[in-house]
C-alpha cells in the first residue's frame, strides 16, 4: 500500500494536530483528508502555511484548555444515571460502556463528549454508584460519578392465601388471650387465698338469747296493796 506525506490543517484524534507532517495511505488522503480539507499535500508552497497553522493550533489548544477546565469543575458536581437491564437476581446483562456514558451525558446534561475521553479502569457490571475518569485534555482530567440503575421491575412478593392469613390471625388472638390469662392468674390466686383465710378464722361465740320480758298482764300493779286479813267475828 503506497504512502503519502501530508500536512494536517486540523486536529485529528489519533493522527495529529495542525502543522504536523504525517504519512498516511494514499487512498485515505485522496478520498477523505483532502476532500474534507483536513490536510494538504506536502509541497514547497504548502510549507509556507506551517507558521500560520501553528498559530491556529496554539489558539485552539488554549481555548480547549479553558473550556475543559470549566467543564471539569461542572462535571464533578453531576451524577449521571445509566439504566441497564438485569435479571431477576439483579445481575446485569453485559457491562456499562464508554458509549453509554457519553450518550447519557448528552441526553441528561447536553454535554457533547467523545467516548474516547471516557476512561473505565475496570468493567462496570454491578448496580450502584461508580467513579469514572474523564480525560478531557492532555492537562485536564475530571471524575464523573455515575449511578447504574436497573430498568427491570422487581418481582411482586407472593401474598399468602386468605385461609393462611386467617389462621395466623387466630393464632395471634389465642396467644394474646393466653398472655392475658397468665397475667390474671396470680391475681385470682391471691383472691382465692384471701377468701380461704377469711373462712378459716374462728366463728364468734354466739350470744345467749335474751330473756323474754313479762307481759303487762303478768306484771303486778304498783298501786295494789296487800289485802288485810278479815276481822274475826266477835265471840258471841
DSSP string, 142-198: EEEEEEEEE-SPPPPPPPPPHHHHHHHHHHHHHHHHHHHHHHHHHHHHHHHHHHHHH
User: Pick from 53, 35, 34: which is nearest to 5 by CA?
Assistant: 34
Q: Residue 169: helix, strand or coil by DSSP?
A: helix
Three cell numbers written together for 21: 507532517
- Sheet with strand 39-41: strands edge to edge: 21-25, 3-8, 39-41
Spatial distance between the Cα atoms of 57 and 146, rounded to a whole number of angstroms: 34
Predicted local confidence at residue 233, as pLDDT: 46
Contacts 24+ apart (CB under 8 A), 122-127: 123/95, 123/96, 124/95, 124/96, 124/148, 125/91, 125/92, 125/94, 125/95, 125/96, 126/92, 127/84, 127/86, 127/90, 127/92
Predicted local confidence at residue 93, as pLDDT: 85
DSSP structural state of residue 59: H
Which residue spans within 109-180 are E strands per DSSP? Answer: 118-119, 128-137, 140-150
The CATH 3.40.5.10 domain(s) of the chain lie at 3-48
CATH architecture for residues 73-150: Roll (3.10)
CATH architecture for residues 3-48: 3-Layer(aba) Sandwich (3.40)
Spatial distance between the Cα atoms of 144 and 149, rounded to a whole number of angstroms: 16
The CATH 3.10.430.100 domain(s) of the chain lie at 73-150
Query: Each residue's pLDDT tens digit in the chain (236 positions)?
Result: 688 999 999 989 889 999 998 999 999 999 999 999 999 998 888 888 888 899 999 999 899 999 999 999 999 999 999 999 888 877 888 899 999 999 999 999 999 999 999 999 888 999 999 999 999 988 899 999 999 998 886 665 565 555 555 666 666 777 676 666 666 555 555 555 556 555 555 555 555 556 555 555 454 445 445 555 555 444 43
Amino acid at each position: 500500500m503506497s504512502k503519502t506525506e501530508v500536512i494536517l490543517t486540523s486536529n485529528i484524534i489519533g493522527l495529529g494536530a495542525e502543522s504536523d507532517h504525517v504519512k498516511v495511505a494514499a487512498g485515505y488522503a485522496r478520498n477523505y483528508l483532502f476532500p474534507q480539507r483536513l490536510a494538504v499535500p506536502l509541497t514547497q508552497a504548502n510549507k509556507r502555511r506551517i507558521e500560520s497553522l501553528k498559530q491556529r493550533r496554539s489558539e485552539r489548544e488554549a481555548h480547549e484548555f479553558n473550556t475543559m477546565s470549566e467543564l471539569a469543575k461542572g462535571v464533578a458536581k453531576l451524577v449521571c444515571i445509566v439504566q441497564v437491564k438485569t435479571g431477576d437476581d439483579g445481575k446485569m446483562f453485559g457491562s456499562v460502556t464508554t458509549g453509554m456514558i457519553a450518550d447519557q451525558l448528552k441526553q441528561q446534561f447536553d454535554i457533547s463528549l467523545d467516548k474516547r475521553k471516557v476512561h473505565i479502569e475496570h468493567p462496570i457490571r454491578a448496580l450502584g454508584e461508580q467513579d469514572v475518569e474523564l480525560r478531557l485534555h492532555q492537562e485536564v482530567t475530571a471524575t464523573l460519578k455515575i449511578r447504574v440503575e436497573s430498568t427491570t421491575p422487581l418481582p411482586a412478593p407472593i401474598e399468602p392465601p386468605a385461609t393462611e392469613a386467617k389462621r395466623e390471625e387466630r393464632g395471634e388472638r389465642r396467644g394474646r388471650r393466653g398472655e392475658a390469662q397468665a397475667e390474671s392468674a396470680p391475681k385470682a390466686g391471691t383472691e382465692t387465698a384471701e377468701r380461704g383465710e377469711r373462712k378459716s378464722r374462728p366463728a364468734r361465740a354466739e350470744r345467749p338469747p335474751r330473756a323474754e320480758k313479762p307481759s303487762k298482764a303478768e306484771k303486778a300493779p304498783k298501786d295494789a296493796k296487800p289485802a288485810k286479813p278479815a276481822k274475826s267475828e266477835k265471840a258471841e
